[in-house]
Amino acid sequence: MFKKVLVANRGEIALRVIRACKELGIATVAVHSTADANALHVRFADESVCIGPPPSKESYLNVPALLSAAEITRADAIHPGYGFLSENQDFAAACGANGLTFIGPPADVITTMGSKVKARELAKKAGAPVVPGETSREQSDAAIADAARRVGFPVLLKPSEGGGGIGMKAARSEPELLTAIPQARREALAAFGDGTLYVERLIDRPRHVEFQILADAQGHVVHLFERECSIQRRHQKVIEETPSTALTPSLRARMGDAAVAVARAAGYRNAGTIEFLLEGKGEAASFYFLEMNTRLQVEHPITEQVVGVDLAAAQIRIAAGEPLPWTQKELSQRGHAIELRIYAEDPARGYLPQAGTLALYRAPAMPGVRIDSGFSEGDEVSVHYDPLIAKLIASGDTREAARQRAVAAVTSFPILGIRTNTGLLLELLNHPRFVAGAVDTGFLDAEADSLRVRLLADAPPEARAVAALVGDTTRPARPSVGNDPWSSLRDVRL
């Protein structure tokens, strides 16, 4: 087992990995930009190293600085978390060249599965169904338009490299396509340094279902069942849950087998996710391979809650050479879990990002509720990084129990100082279509206007949470505790 792990990330995922290391008796090194000098993940680690100024390119994406930090702290492994360099094959290779274990898949596997074109071909060879599509060798606008005509409209333009929805453009006609091609190419070049595009048949309003896989160095591969990720805005997930309401046991088994086959064909090692588009429901449904994420996912906690496997610890054990301790038959799902991503943004105003100090931040302590966060009260939410503040994971014996628990937890989570999307999350949790489990990837866009009107009209959940925190004003106020003004308020109404 490793003696010391450097976590090449920040925020909640850095803290999550540090906690997993501590449970395994491994010393930890946090890295940080000057903006994150007092961040929670820095305070929690055994050691910390400043790797540069706030811009990510000069700090969290600075490979020489990260390798130097590992050298001076004598770390023997690096965990990349998610985002930043987690799916960068050059970083994975550089770790190996410098005598460090990269806690993730081999660099050549990241290269193959990071290319949508190569991953698609590999999936086809592994027997997984793929969405009809085509990549033109000649990347002119005319050649891409010809490919789209052969695939048939409507189509989806996708960059060959990268992910996160960047550069993806839908086109329902040729004029739309000719406008979208240069936009998609520009975005792909800016984000990934590669403007190669491929054309895929657009499946209208599918469901997005992904399967978590683990693979060890001994050649064993298992899946840990599915996560439903259909509630998205701009191709970014907002709410995830498991199990999916759309899957039957036999469909689940077929999709799980396909996920394992793809991972095995890739020579995969460590944790990864096979993403599928699901068209239809139940036994009549069709599923198609979408892509593979060669890292730990943001939404991994719901799998942990339902399957009972610590995925971060499993990553570390696999990287250290340990075999998987269970077979596929020994893994099962129990209960239901829902994850809400709490963002520093204003959904009522076009998801405008927010920054500032968390003047009040009180995570709920409730049965069946887990909070993964990289912030505490008084911390600064920076303009430089992803606006994710926390992940709220609610579990229950049934889906409805998990949903009700999630509602109760959100309304008991006061966050003041910046605007957040908690109001939107409450609206979604209580929406009739979500309650019925009848959502798809177009759900949030279709409901955007009505949700915006309600968000502008309703009192924010933060106000309700603070009211609950203050308590019934007809009773005597609690004695003051330290300098906490919320424990000494008298006769205050919001």
Active site residues: 295
Question: 166 with 83: CB under 8 angstroms?
Answer: no
Q: How far apart are CA 88 and CA 294, in angstroms?
A: 10
CA 44 from chain centre, in angstroms, equals: 22
Structure tokens at 70: 């590992």
Tokens of 429: 């949790």
Q: Give Cβ neighbours of residue 90 (< 8 Å, ≥ 6 apart).
A: 63, 107
Give the closest residue to 234 by CA, choosing from 163, 340, 337, 160.
163
Residues linked to residue 279 through DSSP beta bridges, in sequence order: 286
CA 124 to each of CA 120, 121, 144, 492: distance values in angstroms, whole numbers, following the listed order: 6, 5, 22, 64
Cα 147-279-392 angle, rounded to 5 deg: 110
Print the SS3 string covering the chain: CCCEEEECCCHHHHHHHHHHHHHCCCEEEEEEEHHHCCCHHHHHCCEEEEEECCCHHHCCCCHHHHHHHHHHHCCCEEECCCCCCCCCHHHHHHHHHCCCEECCCCHHHHHHHHEHHHHHHHHHHCCCCECCEECCCCCCHHHHHHHHHHHCCCEEEEECECCCCCCCEEECCHHHHHHHHHHHHHHHHHHHCCCCEEEEECCCCCEEEEEEEEECCCCCEEEEEEEEEEEEECCEEEEEEECCCCCCHHHHHHHHHHHHHHHHHCCCCEEEEEEEEEECCHHHCEEEEEEEECCCCCCHHHHHHHHCCCHHHHHHHHHCCCCCCCCHHHCCCCCEEEEEEEECEEHHHCCEECCEECCEECCCCCCCEEEEECCCCCCEECCCCCCEEEEEEEEECCHHHHHHHHHHHHCCCCEECCCCCHHHHHHHHCCHHHHCCCCCCCHHHHHHHHHHHHHHHCCCHHHHHHHHHHCCCCCCCCCCCCCCHHHCCCCCCC
